[in-house]
A and B are shown apart, each in its own frame.
Chain A
Amino acid sequence: MAESPDWTSCLIRIRDDRDETAFVALFRHFAPRVKAFLMRSGADAALAEEVAQEVMATVWHKAAQFDPARASVATWIFTIARNRKIDALRKQARPEPEDLPWGPEPDPDQADAVGLQQEMDHLGQALAELPDKQRELIEKAYFGELTHREIADATGLPLGTIKSRIRLALDRLRHAMDGRAR
């Protein structure tokens, strides 16, 4: 498999051709990641697998709503998994912003999707290059059901330090993504 498989065209084959082979490839890559995400958020293995299965089925059913100019496949699946997590683990509704007045472009500019994917690659690299402590804090904030205060209790660091470390880490990421974002 290529180093960075083209998940965007894989998802577009699912969207446009209802291609099951493409779905299996996408599943083999993302279902274990969604499962790990759920487990880090406190789900046991069985529930995490069940939710991962539902998330991947949702990807198939909602493929028409995927907009490659706005989100990478990983980002889009993350948002679906996050919403299912709130529903399954916290039994809460998740208020979502109203849709933009324009939907996904039927035929988006390839350059947009490619540019977005490059940005994601940069972001992934920047994250990998963060000092371990900063990266761990960001991961805890995203994946643990932990508030900043709980992270402070767990790590023994004062709340202000946590917040400034997270801010610093985000600044570095933002810096790494500079140029295209705004």
Chain B
Amino acid sequence: MTKITHHLTEDLLMGYSAGTLPEAVNLIVATHISLCDACRASLDAYDAVGGVLLERHSHEVSEACLAGALDMIRKGETSATPAPRRGCDLVPAPLADYVGKGLSDVKWRPVGMGVKQAILETSPEATARLLYIPAGTAVPDHSHNGLELTLVLQGAFEDAEGRFARGDIEIADDDLEHMPVADISQDCICLAVTDAPLRFKGLLPRLAQPFLKI
């Protein structure tokens, strides 16, 4: 595997640890962490802060609550340690829960110029989609009303911010206008998450936007 050079921000790591992010954002964070040991280690540190904070406040619990818990542990089956969750075919385990076994299962829909997408089912505050960009293709110049996160699963793309390959995540906010171009050597597949509709600069893509659900 090539070395990951584009990582999660502190905001995202902390929000993921605190559990305050929308489901689609949690999905892309969990998928990146599955591929990135550095961010996994950072997440452990944020979880440790959560553990320390947990210790600081308490609220009295009834004896009935303890009795009920004892009841639950006596009745419940102690499940054997489940087999470790693993991904397959370029799809890390958290993403596999949303797309099925592998990329061959994905039901792509064309969005023009050979680019295809598949919207994944999550809660509505943010949208997760898989993007399929044929080798050498440029995605139309667009900027954002909100946040756009793009994680490369296969191939690579390049834009003004640099080159992004498998495991790399690009974090684009309101200011960034960019035109990602897929590497010529291989079709590029990404997981992309947006919390607001993209704004395309050209008239045509903008007209098509409501139909594409981009």
Q: Which residues of A contact B (CB under 8 A)?
A: 18, 20, 23-24, 27-28, 30-37, 39-40, 45, 48-49, 52-54, 56-57, 60-62, 64-65, 70-72, 74-79, 81-83, 85-86, 90, 92-101, 103, 119-120, 123-124, 127, 138-139, 141-143, 145-148, 163, 166-167, 170, 173-174, 177, 181-182
Considering only CB atoms, which chain B residue lies closest to A173 in the complex? B49
- Contact at B69–A142, with CB atoms within 8 Å? no
A31 to B70, CA, bound (A): 13
A166 to B69, CA, bound (A): 37
**What is the distance, in angstroms, from B214's C-beta to the closest C-beta of chain A?**
22
- Contact at A75–B48, with CB atoms within 8 Å? yes
- Contact at A31–B61, with CB atoms within 8 Å? yes
- Contact at B58–A32, with CB atoms within 8 Å? yes
On chain A, the residues within 8 Å of B23 by CB distance are 92-95
Residue B145 at the chain A interface, CB threshold 8 Å: no
**What is the distance, in angstroms, from B23's C-beta to the closest C-beta of chain A?**
5
Q: Which of A52, A94, A127, A166 contacts B19 (CB 8 A)?
A: A94
- Contact at B30–A142, with CB atoms within 8 Å? no
- Contact at A61–B51, with CB atoms within 8 Å? no
- Contact at B47–A95, with CB atoms within 8 Å? no
- Contact at B48–A98, with CB atoms within 8 Å? no
Knowing A39-B59, A98-B92 touch, does A120 contact B97 (C-beta < 8 A)? Answer: no
Q: Chain B contact residues (Cβ within 8 angstroms of A): what range?
A: 35 or more
A153 to B64, CA, bound (A): 39
**What is the distance, in angstroms, from A133's C-beta to the closest C-beta of chain B?**
16
On chain B, the residues within 8 Å of A95 by CB distance are 23, 26-27, 29-31, 94-95, 97-98
Q: Which of B51, B72, B95 contacts A120 (CB 8 A)?
A: B51
Residue B175 at the chain A interface, CB threshold 8 Å: no
- Contact at B52–A83, with CB atoms within 8 Å? no
Knowing A20-B70, A33-B57, A163-B11 touch, does A57 contact B34 (C-beta < 8 A)? Answer: no
- Contact at B19–A53, with CB atoms within 8 Å? no
Contact with A along B52-68 (1 / 0, CB 8 A): 11111111111001101
- Contact at A90–B123, with CB atoms within 8 Å? yes
| B23, B41, B61, B85 interface centre (most CB from chain A within 10 Å) | B61
Considering only CB atoms, which chain B residue lies closest to A181 in the complex? B45
**Which 6 A-B pairs have CB atoms at the shortest separation, nearest pair first?**
A75-B51, A98-B93, A32-B58, A74-B51, A99-B84, A95-B94
Considering only CB atoms, which chain A residue lies closest to B70 in the complex? A20
A24 to B54, CA, bound (A): 18
| A45, A82, A119 interface centre (most CB from chain B within 10 Å) | A82
Knowing A53-B69, A120-B48 touch, does A141 contact B81 (C-beta < 8 A)? Answer: no
On chain A, the residues within 8 Å of B97 by CB distance are 93, 95
Considering only CB atoms, which chain B residue lies closest to A20 in the complex? B70
Residue B18 at the chain A interface, CB threshold 8 Å: yes
- Contact at A99–B93, with CB atoms within 8 Å? yes
Cross-chain pairs A/B with CB under 8 angstroms, 26 sampled: A32-B59, A33-B58, A36-B58, A53-B68, A57-B69, A60-B76, A61-B76, A71-B48, A75-B48, A77-B54, A79-B47, A79-B50, A92-B23, A92-B122, A94-B23, A95-B23, A96-B85, A97-B33, A99-B93, A138-B49, A139-B53, A146-B20, A147-B15, A170-B49, A174-B45, A182-B41
| B43, B73, B79, B81 interface centre (most CB from chain A within 10 Å) | B73
On chain B, the residues within 8 Å of A27 by CB distance are 66, 69
Taking A35-B60, A166-B14 as known contacts, 5 extra A-B pairs with beta carbons closer than 8 A to each other, sorted by chain A number, are A23-B70, A92-B123, A95-B94, A127-B52, A163-B11
